[in-house]
Amino acid sequence: MPILQAHNISYQFENGEKLFDNLSCSMTQRRVGLVGRNGAGKSILASILSGEKTPSSGTVTQAKSVLAYRQQASDLLAMPLSLSQFLGKHDVLEALKRVEAGDCSQYCFDVIGDQWTLSKQLNQQLKALGLPQQADFPCAQLSGGQLARLQLWNMFESDAELLFLDEPSNHLDVGAKEWLLGSMCEFKGAIFLISHDRTLLREMEEIWEISELGLQVFGGNYDIYHQRKHAEIQAVERQLISFDKQRKHLRSQIQCNREKAEQRAAQGNRLRKEGSQAKMILDGAKNQAEASASKRNKNQQHRQMKLDDKHQALMARKELLKEQKLYLEDGACRSGKVILSILNGVLAYGYSNVFSLQVYANEKVHLAGPNGCGKSTLLKMLAGKKSLKHGECRVNAPLCMLDQHFGMIQSELSMLDNLLQQCRGIKVSEARTLLAGIGFRRDSVFRLGRVLSGGEKMKLAMLIVSHQPEQPFLLLDEPDNHLDLESKISLAQALLKYRGGYILISHDHDFVTESGVQRTMRPFGQELPC
């Protein structure tokens, strides 16, 4: 029996634009991975299948108990919840404290039940997860990676029949990713995974791909899917070459037939002038030739229309399969100039180590360290959003920061207007070219910021921060987190070619290497060469 089913579901935005139409699917495998380009509708489809959203049309039959993890900024950041409150252990811990203080009321014993060692067990679990070992620690002060690990752990400890995991490896360091992979393997229920992480996708039993072509199902894991996609691209290329040859041959035939018809017509006209054949015979031959030519032309036109239609369909398919391009503006800083320096600094949050660092213009630096050490806090401090607890910081040029939550994207403005308003001096034609490079053409540039997916927001934000005329040095806090595989490769290539400098936080070793990083900086520990 299928774990979930959907029949002819569609989703339409408020402006009337349809994201997808008449999709049907049946989840029969216990590990399914969903892939697709940013904006294709992966998260919305998962929200519909999990029951969080209602489709514009169609029906969904869901599992009895479902939990969903989302990649967007968690509500925990805005709520005054402690670790124990989020985990539902607060009342038990408070009852234990009251008993230790001498309270022997029946209420406390009822709340505690058989959880007398909860405090010790919880501290051990928090330590194993790399989280603060204080049950009353505010969730809002956790790093992105710590917050993700806390939520995921809570889900894996549940008895849910089906988990929807939307980019669960985002924000996680290497150790946390290994923990995630092990937890997914041990989880007894089914998992529906949205991810760009090839390691996780290799653990899936089936891959679904959503695109403008609809929903395609590929049996096997990511490697099998990748092989089939590569074969599909090659097949499309071969078909295009074949159709080009057929179209050229048909055009040659048409030209040859036209020349023969003109020769026959000229010969008939010459015979008329000479009077060597009866006019009736010539008229009959002419009518027969014209009828044959008309029939032949209709057949050739029909063949040409069919070939053109097939060629156009293949070109459209090739357009969907080809790589997207992200163009970053060249930086304008002088090489060798010190952009920023910190002397004997101590962060307000994160590790309490004293550290010093110095970064030069046009230098491409990878900021490394485990979740919770203070990497994001350091970038926010450099951007002027936080202060050092101790020490001295000097910034000698304007900096432009791209945070994890896309704060610069104005939700009520279109993509085009966001770019035009925040990039001084940019022309509409140039803005449209840049947006086309990341897959947005024609009316799609008028999509409002609030309906964009995480990956779409990230790509738009990258265009904005890199096209600031006076802010060439970038502070990039995990810019690859919300990108699909193709977009991640495209962004890495753009950063590699970028002539300005940047500080990059990322836990993806391949992405860091492909981005052209020159130095790995560990401000709270040993600095290592890249």
Query: DSSP letters along 40-73, please?
Result: SSHHHHHHHHHTSS--SEEEEE--SSEEEE-SSP
Q: Does 298 have pLDDT greater than 80?
A: no
Task: Give, in order, the Cα–Cα distances in Å from 284 to each of 215, 260, 269, 293, 440.
Answer: 59, 18, 13, 14, 59
Q: Does 234 have pLDDT greater than 50?
A: yes
pLDDT tier, 205 (very low <50, low <70, confident <90, very high otherwise): very high
Q: Does 156 have pLDDT greater than 60?
A: yes
- Answer whether 361's CB lies under 8 Å from 334's CB: yes
pLDDT at residue number 468: 76
- Mean pLDDT check: name the lowest of 132-146, 154-168, 314-328, 500-514: 314-328
Are 4-81+138-220 and 338-521 in the same CATH fold? Answer: yes
pLDDT at residue number 414: 92
pLDDT tier, 161 (very low <50, low <70, confident <90, very high otherwise): very high
d(CA 399, CA 466): 11
Q: Which residue has the higher pLDDT, 310 or 456?
A: 456
Pairing state of beta strands 364-367 and 390-395? unpaired
Task: Give, in order, the Cα–Cα distances in Å from 432 to each of 119, 464, 466, 529.
Answer: 57, 13, 16, 40
The fraction of the chain above a pLDDT of 70, given in percent, is: 81
Region 445-473: mean pLDDT is 80
Which residue, 381, 452, 380, is CA-closest to 419?
452
- Mean pLDDT check: name the lowest of 10-19, 41-50, 321-330, 504-513: 321-330
Spans of all domains in the chain: 4-81+138-220, 82-133, 229-321, 338-521
- Mean pLDDT check: name the lowest of 7-21, 75-89, 506-520: 75-89
Q: Does 276 have pLDDT greater than 70?
A: no
Q: Which residue has the higher pLDDT, 296 or 56?
A: 56
Which residue, 167, 507, 468, 486, is CA-closest to 326?
486
Pairing state of beta strands 338-346 and 66-69? unpaired
Tens-digit pLDDT profile for residues 393-422: 888 877 888 776 777 888 889 999 999 988
Region 367-392: mean pLDDT is 83
- b/e map 452-481, b = 16+ CB within 10 Å: bbbbbbbbbbbbbbbbbeebbbbbbbbbbb
Q: Which CATH class is domain 338-521?
A: alpha beta
Q: Does 57 have pLDDT greater than 90?
A: yes
At 168, list the tokens: 């669960």
- For residue 524, the tally of other CB atoms under 10 A from its CB is 18
Q: Report pTM.
A: 0.61
- Answer whether 418's CB lies under 8 Å from 440's CB: no
pLDDT at residue number 315: 62
d(CA 329, CA 419): 13
d(CA 448, CA 438): 16
Q: How far is CA 91 from the centre of its chain?
A: 39
CATH topology classification for 4-81+138-220: Rossmann fold (3.40.50)
Q: Does 86 have pLDDT greater than 60?
A: yes
Q: Does 207 have pLDDT greater than 90?
A: yes
- Answer whether 502's CB lies under 8 Å from 495's CB: yes
Q: Where are the alpha helices (DSSP H) in 165-221?
A: 174-186, 198-201
d(CA 519, CA 526): 12
d(CA 206, CA 72): 25
pLDDT at residue number 204: 94
Q: Which residue has the higher pLDDT, 391 or 78?
A: 391
Count the helix, strand and coil residues of the chain and give each as a percent rounded to the nearest 5. 45, 20, 35
Nearest 5 degrees, angle CA 331-CA 332-CA 333? 105
Which residue, 50, 58, 70, 59, is CA-closest to 18?
58
d(CA 170, CA 371): 11
